A = this chain, B = another copy of it.
């Protein structure tokens, strides 16, 4: 049962997982160290990918003009989204800080290029979406590595991909998957912003785990793990 991770190494890993946050405010102007950034990108590049297709690209953006255009796209989409709900939810939504496009020192657009190593990619024929899933795994690696390097990351999803493609010269067949804001922060919040703001609660782990089939929550063969999950607190 003893693996090759020391208790300290495990602690370090879980610390990144549990203290990672989606950061929108609290960015400082401190520049990001180049060595740290290259380590973060390298971690992203070592994500798993279907058929080893490595279908990701990372566009690093500092240019103010591009970022202003992205911010305009956000503003437009935010207003559009807010019209889908009614007060008091709408006012609450509009009061939330949801991006750090101009306040962070670096933006990164992560893209999916389905043509890379294609058209036949092992494991992508039955479920073509697995290509884009690989890019998401790279994004999560990037996010966690940034946390270990003391860099906050915020994912801005209130954007038009058509706008993004125009602003960043992204070709027709390539899909923007994430638009991220990176930078040092004054603080990593203890809880996710939306949890703290009372928008939604964190679900209990037991409520997202099923046994043998959908919706089966009490299987006699799984009693032990179920008890463990119910009593489970964060690793930290």
Contact = CB atoms under 8 A, between A and B. Distances in A.
Interface of A: 1-6, 8-18, 20, 22, 30, 33-35, 37-39, 41-43, 45-48, 50-54, 56-63, 66, 77, 80-81, 84-85, 89, 93, 96, 98, 111, 117, 120, 122-127, 129-130, 132-133, 136-137, 139-141, 143-145, 148-150, 155, 157-161, 168-171, 174, 177-178, 192, 194-195, 199-200, 202-203, 205, 208-216, 221-222, 224-225, 228-229, 232, 234-235
B9 A126 contact: no
Contact of A123 (B98, B140, B228): B98
B84 A120 contact: yes
B136 A169 contact: no
Contacts of A133: 132, 136, 139, 177-178
Contact of A208 (B9, B13, B58, B168): B58
Contacts of A232: 38-39, 42
Given A133-B136, A209-B60, A148 B229 contact: no
A8 B12 contact: yes
Contacts of A211: 59-60
- Count copies of this chain in the complex: 2
Contacts of A15: 5, 9, 13
Given A38-B229, A139-B137, A130 B157 contact: yes
Contacts of A127: 157, 159, 161
Nearest to A174: B214
Contacts of A177: 133
Contacts of A200: 51-53, 117
B59 A17 contact: no
Contact of A125 (B16, B51, B58, B81): B81
